[in-house]
Structure 1
Amino acid sequence: MTLGERLRAIYPGTPGRRLKQWLAGARVRVNGAVVFRGDVTVGPDDRVELGSPPPAGFPAPLRLVHEDDHLVVVDKPAGLLTIATETERERTAYRLLGDWVRARGGGRIFVVHRLDRETSGLLVFARSLAVKQALQAQFRGRTPERVYVARVEGVVRGPEGTLTGSLVEDRALRVRLARDGGRGKEAITRYRVLERARGATVLELVLVTGRRGQLRAQLAALGHPIVGDRAYGSRRDPLRRVCLHATRLGFVHPSGRRVVFESPPPAGFRRA
């Protein structure tokens, strides 16, 4: 009898492809020794064992920043959705991280907040419904620290300032500032100049409110669209991405202590 035949007898109904994966993954041992080939002959007294699968590797598009029993913080790349849409359900930060957590026996994760597909940076996911609700209550109360870095077109003159206004959605569902004091959702952002270069400025942006598309719409209305943000009028795209990064995220942990996580912006922001 071959090893493959013995495995089929021990695990009836297992697809051949799965058996090959077990062998290739060094999970099959005969008398304590790893065997990679299914055509090896085994006798009735030979001990055949199937080992545990190796720990699931962390999904490459994401970077693990922090993990504990209550939450997971990751660094999301630009170009990756936070959660599914009608046109993309598989490749999202939520799906990739959720699959990894479940593969390690960790159960469900819960979305607390989102970043636009075009934005990179820090995201926190809860590991229970209670933690999700507690964190979202903080976001509603505007207590978390949410700091972004952006490279914008043009030279921003003042060293710092505050952007205020009301946001509405147009017919294409794009967020923009309401005209002439029109009604909409209040949006407040504080900014500080980090660096000026010829034709561009690097800004630190602190969210007071956290509306969808807030930073992109407000900066475009200011006359300084984010570099690479063609949807909001940018004329340059040297990095082939929107130059907006969620660099710092702070909130009260379920344990009661305040925590702050940081992710440096891409080096290209200062050269783009």
Structure 2
Amino acid sequence: MRNQPSKRTPKTIEYKVGAEQLLLPFLLATSKKSRNAVKGILSRGQVAVNGRVITRHDHPLRSGDTVEILTNEAAKQDSELLGLSILYEDEAIIVIDKEAGVLSMAAKDKKELTAFSELSAYVRKENRGNRVFIVHRLDRETSGVMLFAKSENIKRQLQDSWETVVIERGYTALVEGKVRQESGEIISWLKETRTFKVYSNPTDNGGQKAITRFKRLQGNAQYSLLELKLATGRKNQIRVHMEEIGHPVAGDKKYGAATNPLKRLGLHAARLSIIHPITKELHTFISDPPSSFSRKSK
């Protein structure tokens, strides 16, 4: 699935690829910058190919690909954002990569950092009347891809058709113990208690049906690294399902974890594929999980 974006921000320079080649030589030829300058632009995440930020020098390009270079001025604005970075932006949506420890929104302490407050301040720099609207949430200790709308109409449009707009939601999880199955599917019904804990039932108990598919990427005796795909998007779904199969997400004391090797929740929203609400084109946004996930499960 390839992302086919409109312009990410007015402060990008866009190029079309004419023939197959590697990214670094293409940038050297088109940007007229020195080799060191181009490498710096790549390492700072200022280059996107078909809407996905690329840092690899040897990334292969195909004819028809769109390469966008974020200007130094715009990159400086992005770098000033705390707890998040912008993966994609256009007239209708903003997609971010949220760090663990940052609330999505609605902090009790109005001064506390949230993804919503940071993005709100960011869009108002261009126009004081600009606003952002949260489309879906990530838990405070979950990092990764998160989607915002730039108008209430776009927000409603995305939320009302969420099941058809979202083509794929993929996560990476570090879970406790050695997962024996190479892959599997977990189906149950989820209900939330008055104390805001979600519990699972194997048969329909009036709760919400939840489906999680998993694939083991690697593992050792202490931890396993899983690729997870959500067929449904219920509150705390992955965390509850991992506890159910006896392999709670590392660091998730609420749902059965006994260890916290990462000093955070071992859950990362790695992939989001959506149909764009305006262009109706398929967009795929990817955030690589922290390297610590892989190191702990080798």
**Cα distance in 2 between the residues matched to 1:227 and 1:55:** 34
Q: CA deviation at 1:55?
A: 6.2
SS at match of 1:218: helix
Q: Over aligned residues, Cα RMSD in angstroms?
A: 2.0
Contact 2:168–2:271, Cα closer than 8 Å, also in 1: yes
Q: CA deviation at 1:87?
A: 4.7
TM-score calculated relative to the size of structure 2:
0.69
Q: Residues 177-192 of structure 1: matches in 2 within 5 Å? A: 177-178=200-201, 181-192=204-215
**Given the superposition, is the C-alpha separation of residues 83 and 271 from structure 1 closer, same or farther in structure 2, using an over 3 Å criterion?**
same
* 2:281 aligned residue: 257
**Cα distance in 2 between the residues matched to 1:89 and 1:209:** 33
Contact 2:165–2:275, Cα closer than 8 Å, also in 1: no
SS at match of 1:133: helix
Contact 1:146–1:206, Cα closer than 8 Å, also in 2: yes
1:100 is aligned to 2:136: no
1:242 is aligned to 2:265: yes
Q: Any idea what the Cα deviations from partners look like across 1:178-235, whole Å, max 9, x if unmatched?
A: 3665321111111111112222110000011101101001100110000111111111
Give 2:102's match in structure 1, choosing from 67, 73, 80: 80
**Given the superposition, is the C-alpha separation of residues 55 and 152 from structure 1 closer, same or farther in structure 2, using an over 3 Å criterion?**
closer
Q: Percent identity between the aligned chains?
A: 39
* 1:146 aligned residue: 169
* 1:61 aligned residue: 83
**Given the superposition, is the C-alpha separation of residues 201 and 56 from structure 1 closer, same or farther in structure 2, using an over 3 Å criterion?**
closer
* 1:8 aligned residue: none
Q: Any idea what the Cα deviations from partners look like across 1:60-102, whole Å, max 9, x if unmatched?
A: 2111111111111101111111111435564211111111111
Q: CA deviation at 1:130?
A: 2.1
* 2:184 aligned residue: 161
Which residue identity does 2:280 align to in structure 1? G
Higher relative contact order (CA 8 A, sep 6+): 2
* Total equivalences in the alignment: 219
* 1:206 aligned residue: 229
**Greater shift in the superposed pair: 158-167 or 125-134:** 125-134
Q: CA deviation at 1:145?
A: 1.1
Give 2:133's match in structure 1, choosing from 107, 110, 116: 110
TM-score calculated relative to the size of structure 1:
0.75
Which residue identity does 1:96 align to in structure 2? E
**Greater shift in the superposed pair: 138-147 or 97-106:** 138-147
Q: Any idea what the Cα deviations from partners look like across 1:105-124, whole Å, max 9, x if unmatched?
A: 16011111110111100001
**Cα distance in 1 between the residues matched to 2:77 and 2:194:** 47
Contact 1:56–1:104, Cα closer than 8 Å, also in 2: no
Contact 2:188–2:202, Cα closer than 8 Å, also in 1: no
Contact 2:274–2:284, Cα closer than 8 Å, also in 1: yes
Structure 1 alignment gaps of length 5 or more: 1-53
**Cα distance in 1 between the residues matched to 2:154 and 2:266:** 31
Contact 1:84–1:90, Cα closer than 8 Å, also in 2: no
Contact 1:121–1:245, Cα closer than 8 Å, also in 2: yes
